[in-house]
Amino acid sequence: MKIVVAYSGGLDTSVLLKWLKEKYNAEIIAYCADVGQAEELDGLEAKALATGASKCFIGDLKEDFAANYIFPMMQANALYEGRYLLGTSIARPCISKDMVDLAIREGADAIAHGATGKGNDQVRFELAVNALAPNIKVIAPWRDPEFRKQFPGRTEMIAYAESHGIPIRQSLKKPYSMDRNLLHISFEAGMLEDTWYDGTTPADREMYKLSVSPEDAPDQAEYIQILYEKGDAIGIKYDGLDALLKELNVTPKGERDGYTLLSPLGVMYVLNALGGKHGIGRVDIVENRFVGMKSRGIYETPGGTILLAAHRDIETITIDREVQKVRDSLIPEYATLVYNGFWFAPERETIQALVTKSQETVNGEVRLKLYKGNVMYAGRRSPQSLYSEEIATMEGGHEELYNQDDAEGFIHLNGLRLKQFSRVNKPYGN
């Protein structure tokens, strides 16, 4: 038997790798996806091989993640339960697809993951495998009573690792769990399971990785301009951008009308840096997990928060009202599909096709003001703007474009049903 194991090099997945090899007498192939988690990947292959894997693959998915998952989701303005920018959720299908592709190339019989039986990730990984490779088996050790009995806690895992010669770095466990990628970082469990716990105090200042506290953000606001093409951010204009790109090791793709053109990954790097600098994108929520329970989490999504704000703003002048209404009516469903793990489901792909069509005219520029946790709108313009100053002006305007006399008939026809309802039901008398 050959099993591809989702592997991070940490204690849990190292133990899991060895345990699977012993239980199934299987060849183990370790897989790690780099989706921008900024974790140390040096030495990971050697550690996986020393732990018992026959091979170890590290997938560099950062560009793929930004271009084919984050950006399409941003075109949909997706927010789960109106607040969560889906940072963990959207990374799972990206990781799963590359892992499935590896399993197919290597002729693996199964894929194994270390997601717990209480969380959403088990569902997301397995639904992705079901959609992409229905003949590949999925093994989830945390849903195996034998595994849970053998490893009721971290102490037992450390003892197992030591007895099997698994290299580990023993350290005190953080009082919370973290999951980081290019779009966000999440904090859950530990003291955060108390919904009354305040995660904004100086006591937890060291917990945050992507942003400063709004109280510690610069006292001087900064402006940023974002260039859009068909609903995607393709360029940025910002004082000091050249120095920032050098610091981030980002190579521009060119220049257009004073904008520095960037790949989706480059856009995310820049917006994360600027959002983090100004304390943007922190949210503390209690959400509804797909498996039925409520869960409290704190999220940092600096770049995504700016990107969502900018996209919403450019749409205000470039997208038709009724098209926007149809698209917006699908946002809750779209966000739920992403959250629940149905990225590769036909219904999500169908909605995405509608979203893509709606973005054909979403071209132009947005100017934003960043200040102490806030993203403020400071201007938008487009060669395809549907806003007409000649029509909207309160200073007269052209009668041939808008005749105010026409409003009388418009109001009369819209009020007809209201008058008739009142006549029949007489809620307020005659």
Between CA 9 and CA 98 the distance in angstroms is 18
Phi-psi region of 107 (alpha: psi -120 to 50; beta: other; left: phi over 0): left
Between CA 127 and CA 131 the distance in angstroms is 6
Beta-ladder partners of 235: 227, 261
Q: How far is CA 324 from the centre of its chain?
A: 22
Between CA 212 and CA 214 the distance in angstroms is 6
> Any idea which residue has 């008739």 for tokens?
420
Instruction: Please give the full DSSP string across 355-377, using - where no structure is assigned.
Output: HHHHTTT--EEEEEEEETTEEEE
CA distances from 321 to 335, 352, 406 (A): 21, 19, 20
CB burial class (10 A; 0-12, 13-18, 19+) of residue 137?
Answer: middle
CA distances from 65 to 35, 59, 131 (A): 7, 11, 19
Take residue 65 and report the two structure tokens written for it. 């993640």
Helices (H) and strands (E) in the chain, counts: 16, 15
Residue 404, helix vs strand vs coil:
coil
| H-only helix segments in 137-289 | 145-150, 154-163, 241-248, 264-277
Residues marked active site are found at 12, 92, 121, 177
Between CA 264 and CA 246 the distance in angstroms is 17
